[in-house]
Amino acid sequence: MKTKAKILGLDCPNCARNLQNEINKLDGVQNARIEFVKNSLVFESEQPQAALEKIKLLTKQIEPQARISEADAHSRKNLIADICTLAVGVAIGALIFFCPMPPWAYWTLYVLSALLLGYKTYWKAATLLVKGIVNENLLITISVVGASIVSQHMEGLMVIALYSLGKIFEGLAVGKSRRSIESLARTRPEFANVVKGRKVVTTDPAVVEIGSIILVRPGEKVPIDGVIVDGQALVDNQSLTGESVPVHKGKNDEILSGGIVLDGVLKIRTTSLFADSAISKIMDLVENATENKSKTETFISKITRWYTLGVVICAVLVWGIVWACLGDLSEAFRRGLGFLVVSCPCAFAISVPLAYFSGLGNASKNGVLIKGSNFLDACSNLQMVAFDKTGTLTTGNFQIQKIEPQEGFTQKEVLHLVALGEQNSLHPLAKAIVAACKQKLEKTQNVREIAGKGVEFEFENAKYFVGRKDKTLKATCVEVFKNDKLVGRIELCDTIKPQSADTCKQLGEIGVKCALLSGDSLESVTSVANAVGIDDVHAQLLPEQKFEFLQNCKKSKQKVGYVGDGINDAPSLAVADVGFSMGINGAPASIEASDIVIVDDNPEKIVTAVKISRYTRKIVWQNILLSAVIKISALVLVGVGLASMLVAVLADVGVTLLAVLNSMRALYFKPAGKKRN
């Protein structure tokens, strides 16, 4: 059984990783995972309550300041306590250095100041060392103790004071990013007003059945997807799609859960369960977005496990070389300690995952749900985006232009038979035909949907096929066959989305080519391609042919994305380097197979995804290069004796804070705004 909990008070990603490794060693606990930037703990256990108690006890031993809780108050109390303790420790340290006092008082206050400034660091270093784990807490502890031994008392206190201050600032920065992302989870509707006769009953959205009538008043969130049966209002969908301009909704309009009704009262007939509604899908995708790590993030995570041990070994070598060359044990010890301080891996360990987390959060706020930092990275490298036509570049709101029955059949009969076959399909053509048919749709037998071809079924002892067999037809149409004999065909027309042409233009401006892949006739596909500005056109393709096209692109070392919304798009979405699914309420198979889900049907969000991914990746490499250059420079200066321990700790804390603040820029980047360098 999977169990989720909040874990508060962890102040570094390495601490979280070490605790996670120890939790996974507990009996009865499997697949434990701590997401540092999300304050979340997930684990599997057959006895979750007993396992949770074991985890709480272990957490108290290894990370005494951390708590497993559902509230954030403890975290705020910890922050206030840390600031007060740091202030008292600094005050005592200043007192002993500037006020004359006897040796016993000096040493008493010195030890007290050192303990107040870093007791958490020392405790974690000792606890983890007993378990065979070496991390940055041990580096700092050795530095403070070593500085005290060689009588560099002020430097020792400054090391731990600046380190602790840096951890507080890191916590504040990460907390800000966490709160920005967690605000997405607060879009979950807390109640639904269900109309029962003349009464309105307030209940949990999770228990509302499909077909119920719910009432949504001004200021309330739409709890479940549905169709408006009465009323009209402006609806704020910013939390869903990132669009700041409210949209007008009236009778017979579809409405997604999570939107806020601004100025009217709506009666809505629910079309899904809460678990299958838009807001539930969004929350699930956002909560699981950090599970799929990029190669960069995974590499940083792996290397920091051995980094600290390597640093200790290098520090010993520096100490030995300096002692051998200069013959000064104290100076050798000082340079070795400085080497330890500079080499703390915090800047790498926290800034890289935080940058990706911020990028994922920014995309979510803009209505682009990316399933992991690996897909965020892949999106930044796209060279081509291949679009499906219907429902992607076009609205998918088809209108019947003409019904052509064969001899012996009427238009009404042809429409009825086609609607019988299409009644369970999510394809836009099927929706338009079913909506146009006013007759009762009876149940059919032995229904089988053939991806990219049509639907087979049995009705009144006859076998029917609804789809398209004649590929020479120029118009968009659906044919119906009875026992392999043509009964008639329905011709439909579609309109191009207003954003499609601008989407293709913007992709071209940022160096991404566009292609159009469709199963429709060459004439209709070419017409759409010309209207939106796509030169690479492929028509009359079956799903397997689209799949082969994308495979060939990948074989030629071309990074390609695919955009689609139907069940027949699932194979193409899966094989592409990045699969974009259009619409949170599209075919479940396409959402499952895709890597990125566009909440609404706006193709411009493809450009948004590419821009955010490139900006985030740029920040990640800025952090890596900045941290590496500053640390290597400081290591050289410390090694040759041109930098003190104070400079060493400033270099470590300073670069960490710079990297963290830089990472947060990914959260506030506006892809549609002025170009930023």
Residues belonging to the active site: 388
What's the rounded Cα separation, in Å, for the pair 243 and 525? Answer: 30
443 burial type by CB count under 10 A (0-12 exposed, 13-18 middle, 19+ buried): exposed
CA dihedral 86, 88, 90, 94 (to 10 degrees): 180
DSSP code per residue over 230-242: E--EEEE-HHHH-
Give the CA angle between residues 313, 319, 320 to the nearest 5°. 90
What's the rounded Cα separation, in Å, for the pair 38 and 6? Answer: 9
Contacts of 39 (CB under 8 A, 6+ apart): 6, 7, 8, 10, 75, 178
**In 3-state terms, what secondary structure has residue 450?**
strand
Kindly report the backbone phi and psi dihedral angles of residue 599, in degrees, each rounded to the nearest multiple of 5, phi listed first.
Answer: -60, -50
CA dihedral 612, 613, 616, 622 (to 10 degrees): -130
Contacts of 134 (CB under 8 A, 6+ apart): 128, 308, 309, 312
Nearest alpha carbon to residue 602 among 398, 366, 434, 265:
366
Neighbouring-strand partners of residue 325: none
Task: Find out whether 516 and 528 touch, Cβ atoms under 8 Å.
Answer: yes
What's the rounded Cα separation, in Å, for the pair 353 and 299? Answer: 11
Nearest alpha carbon to residue 217 among 207, 204, 227, 202:
202
Q: H-helix or E-strand containing 306?
A: helix 295-326
What's the rounded Cα separation, in Å, for the pair 9 and 23? Answer: 17
DSSP 8-state assignment for residue 29: -
What's the rounded Cα separation, in Å, for the pair 11 and 170? Answer: 8
What's the rounded Cα separation, in Å, for the pair 374 and 293? Answer: 5
Please count the helices (runs of H) and the strands (runs of E) in the chain: 21, 26
DSSP code per residue over 244-281: -S-EEE-TT-EE-TT-EE-SS-EEEEE-S-GGGSHHHH
Two structure tokens written together for 381: 């490298």
